[in-house]
Homo-oligomer: A and B are copies of this chain.
Amino acid sequence: MPASSTRNLIVETADDLFYEGGFEATSFAHIAAAVGISRGNFYHHFKTKDDMLDAVIARRVKRTHAMLDGWQADGDGPRERILSFVHMLVANRAKIMAFGCPVGTLCCELAKLDHVAQDRAAEIFGLFRDWLTGQFQALGAGDRAEALALHLLVRSQGVAVMATAFRDDSFIRSEVAGIEHWLTTLPDISPSR
């Protein structure tokens, strides 16, 4: 077992707790209890709590990259790949209703805290935006590709916020159906390559 497996365990646990309880409200004591190690031990792996946030964001960036690469390699067309993104909302609906979107809620919290990591967290949105832009370009959207990608992000984030506020399960499904219908209305200029 590699020497820094404790560090990975800390980052994984902090990732979950930051998502479910928020960054500010999650204390070292909470993380220590969840991991099962001593409080003072953290400072051998991370200088400050902000360093831990950096590690969590880096982990999320890495996992997002891996997820997008996985969808890219699935062999389906761009329309199916876009649907993979949209269906995250349905697959994660229980957690979204309870805690919102991990990316959106972190960005909003860091904005209020005027935190230095604000832009680094927003870069996860940048990954989705760029990947979706690529898919819409593959659909032949040309110059409109990025605008369509941002529109899809807007609707996804809106669904997440409203689902969290109303805690309504049926709400996510109907909005996703609306997005799916919107996708079918897009002109498919060059469906393959």
* A positions within 8 Å CB-CB of B: 20-22, 24-25, 98-100, 103-105, 107-109, 111-113, 121-122, 125, 147, 150-151, 153-159, 161-162, 164-167, 171, 174-175, 178
Q: List chain B residues, Cβ under 8 A from A155.
A: 154-155, 158
Asked if B22 contacts A125 (CB within 8 A), the reply is no
Q: How far is the CA of A166 from the CA of B105 in the complex (A)?
A: 13
Q: List chain B residues, Cβ under 8 A from A167.
A: 122
Q: Which of B25, B105, B153 contacts A24 (CB 8 A)?
A: B25
Asked if B107 contacts A109 (CB within 8 A), the reply is no
Q: Helix, strand, loop or mixed for chain A's interface?
A: helix
Q: List chain B residues, Cβ under 8 A from A113.
A: 21-22, 25
Q: How far apart are A163's CB and chain B's nearest CB, in angstroms?
A: 9
Q: Which of B112, B165, B171, B175 contacts A104 (CB 8 A)?
A: B165
Q: How far is the CA of A52 from the CA of B15 in the complex (A)?
A: 31
A-B pairs, top 4 by smallest CB distance, nearest first, are: A158-B158, A154-B158, A107-B165, A157-B161
Residue of B nearest to A119 (CB): B167
Q: How far is the CA of A105 from the CA of B147 in the complex (A)?
A: 25
Q: Which of B100, B107, B175 contacts A154 (CB 8 A)?
A: B175
Q: List chain B residues, Cβ under 8 A from A111.
A: 98-100, 164-165
Asked if A147 contacts B174 (CB within 8 A), the reply is yes
User: Given A100-B112, A112-B99, A151–B178 Cβ distance below 8 Å?
Assistant: yes
Q: How far is the CA of A100 from the CA of B100 in the complex (A)?
A: 15
User: Given A154-B175, A155-B155, A25–B112 Cβ distance below 8 Å?
Assistant: yes
Q: List chain B residues, Cβ under 8 A from A98.
A: 111
User: Given A109-B109, A111-B98, A175-B154, A161–B20 Cβ distance below 8 Å?
Assistant: no
